[in-house]
Chains A and B, each alone.
Chain A
């Protein structure tokens, strides 16, 4: 017993000693943490970093002086000297930074503006019109230089047809009635319903889809005006066979297949799966917000996004992450991701149209954006 007590005592003293060390460490840690919070937090409140670039531009007068200095009918150069000339608009790029962590490394900080400033009378603020001082200072030119003109009507080549709508969408839509809002969901104008036994509909503004054509019509393809009136069924060329699963890991694919089989096989277990119409409604509500730029490199990139929806069909925390991608440079991938994310976040508005009783089926969503069919429009 004594022995044991002694041991306990030893333990207790040991423990006390450890306690003090521990407390000290903990106190130190806390002080450091608080200090960091105070200091660090304060720092983060500083304005965001700023890159600064100096651009100096030669004035019209300087250009005139420069040109006047050299002969107007200039002599022949010595042939051997493709010398580095002074560029007419010396671009000095000095970064006088404003809390900038580091200026762009590739911008040497040479000379501020080369044209002597004192030569210039306080330059009058340019007028709105694109008239520039260049015109009257062009040297040794007998006739008036063409002035950047006032915006002129393209009288020379009137368009043979009204140009197609600026929007190209899966479904063509005529120009909306003038007083209708443009809304994703077409709504008829509704007036209070006279019949008493039917719940009265709220009065609402008329809404129509934004005017759109179904494809880009280049001038070479002779816009015939047909797109304005005839609603051409959206061309659906044979669906691209691979559903563009990014990061095609054979194991993951096998898993996905097996899982898909399992889900379809035992669907009744947790309520019916989404119907085709429900899936289509979801798909359509996203695709009408997905803006594709067919001339961009990003139109060759397929991205897959993952997000979680709340019961109202809204993206939780607006958190959308990229699961995978294929094709294109990293800049193009980033652009494609941002465009796809905008599509999801913009079109969720009041929540995606999904059946509440099947929440488990659509809580987690993996959405693949594949623009390959858009490129050929």
Chain B
């Protein structure tokens, strides 16, 4: 069938080519245009105040509407059209959408929601509309929880809206573990703390008795690995987030163990171990307690990070004379260097999307957070400052959070986030100093 068709088409083409075609036929030929230039701008959306369906729900409805809007605009990818510009008023959740009214104010997406409160029970539902095509994007969704969990519910609404519009997962209902720092610069007290992605709900996981560094979430967010100086030497601890109980991770023999990370299934830990002045990368299986040495070189190999599929490890090494990034198989073997620019590269982290590696770069007296593809191409520096370091990926691989330290006696570390396009650099609204963020997964 297909060859016959092809022949027919070819015959017609030949007719065209020889100029025998009828004018009427030719008019059917579509106009072909290629568009290669667009604009990069936040997508305007409208989110009328969620309808309060029960008495007394209006306060929480207002809070949830505000938080959903803040989540979306905070990405830099969306812009809210203020309610004062709305033509159409939304009085009930079920009322038909007056698309023309929303088109008139150039709202491209419309979020309609409703909130009901029954005792401490909170129910939030919403629908999302693509205004210009006049279609609903996905089905309506409903979340139920308790009133004091309203922030999480709002984040869940934001995640759903975000992923329906962008086609990628969200990251709003996620948490970050970090090192909270208080006190003067020469005597900082450091504690592990956990918070929502937006800096709300800070809770402490350790007291300030011993120096703690570099917490790392497990893939499911239930445990945290960190480096503790409780014994005087750096040792890796595992902390259970729910119970805040902790234990030391048994590692292979060595004077210092640090930069730990979980494997994707949470069953193994890769870390660096220092022994007699030489540092290499090791892996410990948590169930069997078996230790495996993955690199064996006289140089310093550290800061390992696994690819999302668990097959490869990116790490930093000074085997070339300067600190650079390398990739090897997850079971060790000959590494391939991927960073070739000027300066020193460190603390690589593999993107959860798998396509990029984030890193810290030091060059010409400045620090940068940057990304490159896994073959080292398309290197792009996103930030520049006196001291930026330690990037961590949002669960959808879209945003990086890192530590930025300011100079001077009153200076200190703070947490910042930046979109991987280099736009939307923001400081997290935390009251005190903070460092070493590790972004956890989306909560279930």
Write the residues of chain A forming the contact surface with B, with a CB cutoff of 8 angstroms: 47-60, 63, 66-67, 70, 72-80, 82, 84-89, 91, 93, 96, 98, 113, 115, 117, 120, 122-123, 125-126, 128, 130, 132-135, 138, 140-141, 143, 145-149, 151-152, 154, 156-157, 166-170, 210, 212, 216-222, 234, 239-240, 243-244, 251-252, 254-255, 258-259, 261-263, 265-266, 269-270, 274, 279, 282-283, 286-298, 306, 318, 320, 331-332, 334-335, 338, 340-343, 345-346, 360-374, 377
B85 within 8 A of A: no
Q: B37: which of A55, A70, A234 is its contact (CB, 8 Å)?
A: A234
Instruction: Report which of A55, A85, A156 forms a contact with B149, defined as CB distance below 8 A.
Output: A55
Q: Do A53 and B39 form a contact, CB below 8 Å, given A123-B147, A262-B26, A266-B19?
A: no
Complexed CA–CA distance, A98 and B123 (Å): 13
Cβ contacts A to B, 24 pairs, < 8 Å: A51-B140, A55-B149, A79-B248, A87-B241, A120-B120, A126-B63, A126-B150, A134-B203, A146-B202, A147-B202, A148-B431, A157-B385, A167-B40, A218-B422, A259-B13, A262-B19, A269-B23, A295-B398, A334-B167, A340-B35, A366-B32, A367-B35, A368-B34, A372-B36
Nearest Cβ in chain A — how far from B443, in angstroms?
6
Please measure, in the bound complex, the distance between the C-alpha atom of A295 and the C-alpha atom of B42, giving whole angstroms.
Answer: 13
Q: B367's closest neighbor in chain A, by CB?
A: A220
Chain A CB within 10 Å — which of B42, B168, B368, B406 has the most?
B168
Residues of B within 8 A of A84 (CB): 222
* Among B274-282, B317-325, B376-384, the stretch in contact with A: B376-384
Q: Which residues of B contact A132 (CB under 8 A)?
A: 200-201
Nearest chain B CB to A166 CB, angstrom units: 6
| Residue ID in chain A nearest B14 by CB atoms | A258
Distance, CA A59 to CA B151, complexed state (A) = 11
A-B interface, 8 closest residue pairs, ranked by CB to CB distance from nearest: A57-B149, A218-B422, A335-B167, A262-B16, A220-B381, A77-B247, A290-B38, A364-B30
With contacts A55-B152, A87-B221, A132-B200 taken as known, whether A222 is within 8 angstroms of B384 at the C-beta atoms is: yes
Residue among B10, B77, B247, B425 having the largest count of chain A Cβ atoms under 10 Å: B247
Which B residues, 28 to 65, have Cβ-Cβ distances below 8 Å to chain A?
28-43, 56, 59-60, 62-63
B180 within 8 A of A: yes
* Minimum CB distance partner of A77 in chain B: B247
Query: Does B134 lie at the interface of the complex (its beta carbon under 8 Å from any beta carbon of A)?
Result: yes
Beyond the given A79-B248, A212-B39, A290-B37, please list 7 additional residue pairs across the A-B interface where CB-CB is below 8 A. Answer: A79-B247, A96-B144, A122-B119, A157-B406, A265-B19, A338-B130, A371-B38
Stretch at the interface among B253-261, B294-302, B413-421: B413-421
Interface size, chain B (Cβ < 8 Å): 128
Q: How far is the CA of A340 from the CA of B35 in the complex (A)?
A: 10
Chain A residues within an 8 Å CB radius of B76 = 166
**B148 contacts the other chain (Cβ, under 8 Å)?**
yes
Contact A263 B38 (CB under 8 A): no
Asked if B152 and A57 sit within 8 Å, CB to CB, the answer is yes
Q: State which of A56, A148, A266 has its C-beta within 8 Å of the C-beta of B430.
A: A148
The answer, among A156, A342, A366, for a CB contact under 8 Å with B406, is: A156
Q: State the Cβ distance, B352 to closest chain A Cβ, in Å.
A: 12
Q: How far is the CA of A58 from the CA of B147 in the complex (A)?
A: 10
Asked if B235 is at the interface of the complex by the 8 Å CB criterion, the answer is: no
A85 and B223 in contact, given A54-B145, A140-B207, A374-B38 (Cβ under 8 angstroms): yes
Q: B108: which A residues are within 8 A, CB to CB?
A: 342, 346
Nearest B residue to A81, CB-CB: B247
* Cβ contact within 8 Å between B36 and A370: yes
Partner pick for B383 among A67, A115, A219, CB 8 A cutoff = A219
Is B283 in contact with chain A by the CB < 8 A criterion? no
Report the minimal beta-carbon distance from B84 to chain A, rounded to whole angstroms. Answer: 16
From A79, A331, A371, give the contact of B168 (CB < 8 A): A331
A74-B245, A370-B35 as given contacts; A346 in contact with B132, CB under 8 Å: yes
The answer to whether A91 touches B444 (Cβ under 8 A) is: yes
The answer to whether B414 touches A368, judged by C-beta atoms less than 8 angstroms apart, is: no
Q: Is B133 an interface residue, CB under 8 A from the partner? A: yes
* CA distance in complex: A306, B199 (Å): 46
- Which chain A residues lie closer than 8 Å to B21 at the CB level? 262, 266
Say whether, besides A262-B17, A270-B27, A372-B36, A87 and B222 are in contact (CB < 8 Å): yes
Given contacts A125-B147, A335-B167, contact A290 B423 (CB under 8 A): no
Rounded to whole angstroms, the CA-CA distance of A63 and B136 in the bound complex is 39
CB neighbours (8 Å) of B136 from chain A are 48
Please, what's the 1-or-0 string for B223-247, where 1 marks a CB less than 8 Å from any CB in chain A?
Answer: 1000000000000001011111111
- Are B384's CB and A219's CB within 8 A? yes
Minimum Cβ distance to chain B for residue A260 (Å): 8
Q: Identify the closest chain B residue to A262 (Cβ).
A: B16
Q: Write the chain A residue with the least CB distance to B194.
A: A88
- For the complex, is B142 an interface residue (Cβ under 8 Å from A)? yes
Q: Are A244 and B34 in contact (CB under 8 A)?
A: yes
Known: A123-B120, A296-B166, A296-B168. A369 touches B35 (CB 8 A): yes
User: Given the interface contacts A128-B63, A297-B168, A361-B31, does A251 sit within 8 Å of B10 by beta carbon?
Assistant: yes
Residues of B with C-beta under 8 A to A255: 9-10, 12-13
Query: Is B19 a contact partner of A88 (Cβ separation < 8 A)?
Result: no
Query: In the bound complex, do residue A216 and residue B421 qualify as a contact, i.e. CB atoms below 8 Å apart?
Result: yes
Q: Which residues of A contact B425 (CB under 8 A)?
A: 219
Interface residues of B in 340-396 (CB under 8 A from A): 353, 355, 368, 370, 380-385
Q: Is B310 an interface residue (CB 8 A)?
A: no
Residue pair B209, A73 in contact (C-beta under 8 Å): yes
* Residue B293, interface by CB 8 Å: no
Give the complex CA separation of A171 and B243 in angstroms. 56
Instruction: Flag whether B87 is at the interface (Cβ < 8 A).
Output: no
Q: How far is the CA of A192 from the CA of B363 in the complex (A)?
A: 61
Q: Which residue of A lies closest to B121 (CB)?
A: A117
Give the chain A neighbours of B418 by CB distance below 8 A: 219
Question: Is there contact, CB below 8 Å, between B207 and A73?
Answer: yes
Contact, CB under 8 Å: A87 / B33: no
* A283 vs B36: C-alpha distance when bound (angstroms): 9
Is A145 touching B202 in the complex (CB atoms < 8 A)? yes
CA distance A149 to B34 in the complex (A): 49
Contact with A along B186-210 (1 / 0, CB 8 A): 0000000001000111111001010
Q: Is the CB–CB distance between B203 and A138 below 8 Å?
A: yes
Are A72 and B149 neighbours in the complex by a CB distance under 8 Å? no
- Residue of B37, B144, B266, B385 contacting most chain A CB atoms (<10 Å): B37
